[in-house]
């Protein structure tokens, strides 16, 4: 019963994690980061709403533009401070210090709020304090978002953050709900002026929790300060060398305008909302404003959370990115016009209209706009994308806020001049209507900018597809289809059109006919063939008439054959008689073979006999092309029937093309009796590629055959590699299960091959498969295994480093020749090779956790051997890797001696110095981890040094599948135990390796170990 309860709770937990798209090892970090962001955001929202109440009550909304102007300089200043802190402090200290610094002024502000009558240079201390409070709130929002983003990027790798950051970032939305509804209660309990103390306490609590988080996961942060000045100079030079020109420039300008207009409209709506709120004050002062804002923030937060969690991504998928991007500006324009009309008609007050405007802006600004923003940057190449995003978020938005503040001041002066002086409330409403009119105009301009982005987006998609830069995720599918249609319809190079079809096929293969079928008539024969091949992967009757119309035209044989096949597969009741004319000998073999194969599928007895006779003639024809096309046609027939008799002869056909085509036939018809021919085909260079493709077509049916072949240690490494490669190309869940399970148990070359295959699988299916099955902890375990093995290698290099002469070991003066010294060096070089292989596997394993290009850059710099490049490579790892054994890994890759590296690996293995002979026996105990050459070198060194090895080590290695290892063991036995060798030699006479069998014959003749049996 207890086990059932445990199992049930585990199942519930797994279901919850799956619904949240989290893995168990990510839960703690995600929850802690969510709490940190939520706590600090609650404190900041309390402070912001209280500050707004105090500011509006004491000084009025007409002073707010100065806040906007001043805040424009806050972003760049704080960015400089943040960068400076990273130069003098380690990053895990910087993030905590920044959060702690955010809380300190909040406690100090309390002492300046009550001094309305005390002035400095004619300005009251209270005004200065509240003004600084509002600026500090804006600064804290920037710092908090920056801190959260940087800390999350350190705690989670590039693949984890896609799942975890949406949950972490939703902490702000949750904080809006909590702080909004709790603020009225807080005001009653502590009073408005004391809210700053509570806010400071919340932010300080968040900093304490962040300190705990950074200490617990200290390995996720670099130990040293940030990049050196030299690195920054190099990076700056590299960035400035990149220029945005041509189509990219045409796209970047409206893209930047999109975000600037979004910020300008947001600031204008925000200003007018607070301006109207000031005039709605019933007389209760700042507390009423703060309480109202709290309830408003809470209700709005509920809608934001619901929209972000349940609507944003689904809406983008359903209506497309650009329609989604137009919702906010179009909604603001429509609502603004309605507000103006309703206010002039005295149906609704301006205040109600502005409440609705701000609610809509806040709701969609932080939900839909945040969702579509990354997609808009997608067509920009990776090497300049971050620069454009920095330009938009770091320069464009803060600058636009300041410029908007100046614009508001100008508009206030102009409206105050041109509007007639009358009742203050009427004047204020008229002024607000003018602002709303400006907002409507800017919103319409915003919609136009979205349209411009869409048109340039289409062009860049085509260019990106042509150059192979565009990925297959996070793109607007509807825009992509429009781009393909426009590209295929206009005159242009065929390569560009071909790349568009390939990209569309990769992104949306099931619905590719929707785009291609209407265009078939206008395409070139080459593109018609590519389109039909793509459509045949997912044949759909909806496009039957378009293909039928194409088949009635004059077409090249290859295109006509594809069209006939598509019609046959999609037509409910195909007309077999219409195919019979294509069986005539005068018809091209491609079309003739296709027609015969299709008739054999669904024709009657006589029709099948006629088709079979046609194929028989083709298979026995003297011309190679006839035999090739006849053989290919066999793969399209459901039943080979009497034609099966020709397969043995075709397998021996003199034409390589025929033999390769037959391998595909065996796969297509699932002829199990000929599956061994597919496996044999992997062993020959001429048929390897064809055999691999044929095996992959079998999908899961081929897995048992491939596993048997891959795990057969007597097969060559090349053949076993082909078997693993086939499993990777099959790519099903079952195939990935096999690869991952063998990854955990295999070693050396096999593990390296499996790692490379998994990394090369499309759409990161292999990477996600490994993470789903063994997780981050499993990968860290594999890295620790490699580090422990490297430790054993270093122990061998250290203990065997003094082996240069063997006179004192063998007892003979003649045994100290150079040959023994060379043997020791051979083993040392073999061990050094094993060290390099293990390091390579470590880098391959890290690619499952971190960006491929980052790990590759680190590996390249470290492998260079140059001190400056090595230092850069180690720093890249220090700033990227967050595994528990990061320090050991980095010290191991540094230029230290073997003894120093052994001491750095003390947490994983304890090094005890051993005598050279004992160390050699210890290495042989690890024989399963050694390469074949290193194993052979161990026996050669034991022979030269006259060191004794255990009988088990010797006998086991005598059965090794590699010939030169058995050869080395025999040479050792000849010196160490001639009597045992005499008994073993007769059993080795028929060794499959010619060199070993020759060695056995020579030893038998020399030792007189009996004759042949």
Q: Kindly report, residue by residue over 847-874, the tens digit of the pLDDT.
A: 998 888 889 988 998 888 788 888 888 8
What is the Cα–Cα distance from 940 to 824, expressed in whole angstroms? 9
Helices 27-58 & 195-216, crossing angle to 10 degrees? 160
Quick one: which of 525, 467, 531, 461 has its CA closest to 495?
Answer: 467
What is the Cα–Cα distance from 711 to 520, expressed in whole angstroms? 48
What is the Cα–Cα distance from 828 to 794, expressed in whole angstroms? 10
To which residue do tokens 């109202």 refer?
292
H or E element, residue 405: helix 397-418
* 300: region left, alpha or beta (phi > 0 left; psi from -120 to 50 alpha): alpha
What is the Cα–Cα distance from 36 to 95, expressed in whole angstroms? 12
Contact 265, 332 (CB under 8 A): yes
| pTM score of the predicted model | 0.76
Q: What is the pLDDT of residue 245?
A: 52
Contact 985, 1007 (CB under 8 A): yes
What is residue 420's DSSP assignment? P
Q: What is the pLDDT of residue 117?
A: 53
Low-confidence ranges of the chain (pLDDT < 70): 1-11, 75-76, 79, 112-124, 126, 158-159, 162, 223-247, 281-286, 313, 317, 374, 378, 381-387, 389-391, 393-395, 421-425, 458-480, 638-640, 804-821, 1008-1013
Q: What is the pLDDT of residue 70?
A: 78
SS3 category, 120: strand
Q: Give the pairing of strands 119-120 and 123-124.
A: antiparallel
Quick one: which of 881, 849, 850, 874 has its CA closest to 860?
Answer: 874
Contact 29, 166 (CB under 8 A): no
Give me the residues paired with residue 123 across strands: 120
Q: What is the pLDDT of residue 690?
A: 92
Backbone phi and psi for residue 774, each to the nearest 5 degrees, phi listed first: -115, -15
Q: What is the pLDDT of residue 256?
A: 85
Q: What is the pLDDT of residue 813?
A: 33
Contacts of 817 (CB under 8 A, 6+ apart): none
Q: How big is the chain by its Cα radius of gyration, in Å? A: 37
Contacts of 537 (CB under 8 A, 6+ apart): 505, 509
Helices (H), 26-116: 27-58, 64-88, 91-109
What is the Cα–Cα distance from 415 to 430, expressed in whole angstroms? 9
- Reading the block at residue 309, the tokens are 């969690």
648 CB burial (10 A radius; 0-12, 13-18, 19+): exposed
Give me the residues paired with residue 119 across strands: 124
Q: How far apart are the first and last CA of the chain?
A: 65
């Amino acid at each position: 019963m207890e086990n059932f309860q445990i199992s049930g709770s585990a199942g519930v937990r797994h279901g919850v994690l799956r619904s949240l798209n989290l893995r168990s090892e990510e839960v703690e970090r995600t929850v802690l980061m969510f709490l940190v962001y939520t706590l600090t955001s609650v404190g900041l929202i309390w402070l912001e709403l209280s500050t707004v109440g105090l500011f509006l009550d004491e000084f009025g909304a007409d002073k707010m533009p100065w806040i906007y102007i001043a805040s424009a300089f806050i972003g760049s200043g704080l960015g400089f401070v943040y960068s400076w802190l990273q130069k003098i402090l380690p990053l895990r200290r910087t993030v905590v210090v920044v959060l702690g610094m955010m809380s300190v002024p909040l406690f100090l502000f309390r002492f300046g709020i009550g001094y309305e009558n005390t002035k400095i240079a004619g300005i009251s201390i209270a005004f200065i304090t509240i003004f600084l409070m509002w600026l500090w709130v804006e600064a804290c929002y920037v710092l908090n978002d920056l801190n959260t983003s940087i800390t999350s990027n350190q705690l989670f790798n590039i693949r984890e953050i896609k799942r975890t950051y949406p949950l972490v970032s939703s902490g702000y939305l949750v904080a809006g709900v909590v702080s909004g509804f709790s603020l009225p209660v807080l005001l009653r309990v502590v009073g408005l002026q004391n809210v700053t103390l509570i806010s400071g306490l919340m932010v300080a609590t968040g900093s304490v929790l962040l300190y705990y988080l950074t200490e617990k996961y200290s390995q996720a942060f670099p130990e040293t300060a940030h990049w050196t000045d030299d690195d920054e100079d190099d990076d700056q030079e590299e960035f400035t060398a990149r220029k945005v020109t041509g189509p990219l420039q045409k796209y970047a300008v409206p893209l930047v305008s999109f975000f600037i207009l979004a910020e300008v409209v947001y600031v204008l709506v925000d200003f007018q909302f607070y301006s109207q709120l000031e005039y709605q004050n019933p007389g209760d002062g700042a507390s009423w404003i703060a309480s109202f804002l709290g309830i408003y923030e809470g209700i709005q937060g509920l809608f934001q959370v619901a929209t972000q969690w349940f609507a944003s991504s689904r809406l983008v998928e359903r209506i497309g990115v650009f329609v989604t991007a137009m919702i906010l500006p179009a909604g603001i324009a429509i609502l603004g016009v309605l507000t103006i009309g309703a206010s002039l008609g005295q149906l609704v007050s301006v205040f109600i209209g502005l409440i609705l405007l701000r609610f809509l802006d806040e709701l969609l600004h932080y939900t839909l706009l945040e969702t579509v923003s990354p997609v808009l940057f997608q067509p920009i190449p990776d090497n300049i994308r971050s620069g454009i995003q920095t330009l938009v978020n770091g320069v464009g938005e803060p600058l636009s806020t300041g410029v908007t503040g100046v614009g508001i001041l100008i508009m206030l002066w102009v409206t105050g001049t041109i509007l007639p002086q009358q009742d203050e409330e009427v004047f204020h409403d008229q002024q607000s209507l003018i602002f709303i009119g400006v907002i409507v105009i800017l919103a319409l301009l915003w919609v136009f900018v979205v349209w411009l982005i869409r048109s340039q987006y289409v062009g860049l998609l085509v260019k990106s597809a042509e150059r192979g830069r565009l990925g297959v995720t996070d793109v607007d599918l509807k825009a992509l289809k429009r781009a393909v249609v426009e590209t295929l319809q206009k005159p242009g190079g065929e390569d560009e059109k071909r790349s568009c079809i390939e990209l569309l096929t990769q992104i949306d293969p099931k619905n590719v006919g929707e785009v291609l079928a209407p265009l078939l008539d206008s395409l070139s024969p080459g593109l018609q063939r590519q389109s039909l091949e793509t459509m045949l992967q997912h044949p759909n009757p909806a496009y039957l008439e378009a293909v039928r119309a194409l088949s009635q035209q004059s077409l090249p044989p290859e295109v006509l054959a594809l069209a006939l096949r598509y019609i046959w597969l999609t037509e409910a009741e195909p007309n077999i008689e219409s195919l019979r004319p294509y069986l005539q000998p005068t018809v091209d073999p491609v079309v003739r073979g296709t027609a015969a194969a299709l008739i054999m599928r669904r024709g009657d007895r006589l029709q099948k006999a006629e088709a079979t006779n046609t194929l028989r003639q083709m298979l026995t024809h003297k011309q190679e092309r006839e035999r090739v096309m006849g053989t290919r046609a066999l793969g399209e027939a459901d039943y080979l029937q009497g034609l099966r008799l020709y397969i043995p002869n075709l397998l021996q056909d003199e034409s390589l093309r025929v033999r390769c085509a037959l391998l595909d036939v065996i796969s297509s018809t699932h002829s199990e009796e000929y599956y061994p021919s597919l496996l044999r085909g992997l062993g020959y260079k001429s048929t390897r590629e064809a055999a691999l493709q044929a095996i992959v077509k079998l999908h899961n049916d081929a897995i048992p055959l491939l596993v048997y072949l891959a795990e057969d240690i007597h097969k060559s490494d090349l053949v076993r590699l082909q078997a693993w490669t086939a499993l990777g190309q099959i790519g099903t869940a079952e195939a990935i299960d096999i690869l991952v399970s063998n990854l955990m148990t295999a070693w050396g070359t096999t593990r390296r091959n499996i790692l490379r295959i998994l990394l090369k699988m499309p759409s990161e299916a292999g990477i996600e498969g490994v993470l789903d099955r063994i997780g981050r902890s499993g990968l860290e375990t594999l890295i620790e295994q490699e580090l422990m093995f490297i430790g054993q290698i270093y122990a061998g290099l250290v203990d065997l480093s003094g082996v240069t002469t063997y006179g004192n070991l063998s007892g003979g003066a003649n045994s100290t020749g150079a040959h023994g010294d060379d043997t020791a060096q051979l083993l040392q070089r073999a061990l050094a090779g094993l060290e390099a292989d293990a390091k390579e596997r470590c880098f391959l394993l890290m690619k499952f956790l971190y960006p491929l290009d980052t790990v590759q850059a680190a590996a390249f710099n470290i492998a260079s051997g140059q001190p400056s490049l090595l230092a850069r490579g180690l720093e890249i790892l220090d700033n990227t890797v967050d595994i528990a054994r990061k320090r050991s890994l980095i010290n191991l890759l540094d230029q230290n001696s073997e003894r120093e590296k052994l001491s750095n690996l003390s947490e994983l293995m304890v090094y005890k110095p051993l005598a050279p002979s004992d160390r050699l026996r210890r290495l042989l105990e690890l024989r399963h981890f050694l390469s074949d050459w290193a194993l052979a070198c161990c026996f050669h060194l034991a022979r030269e040094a006259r060191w004794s090895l255990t009988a088990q080590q010797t006998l086991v290695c005598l059965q090794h599948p590699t010939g030169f290892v058995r050869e080395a063991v025999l040479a050792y036995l000849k010196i160490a135990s001639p009597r045992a060798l005499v008994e073993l030699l007769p059993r080795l006479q028929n060794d499959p390796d010619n060199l070993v069998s020759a060695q056995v014959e020579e030893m038998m003749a020399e030792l007189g170990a009996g004759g042949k049996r």
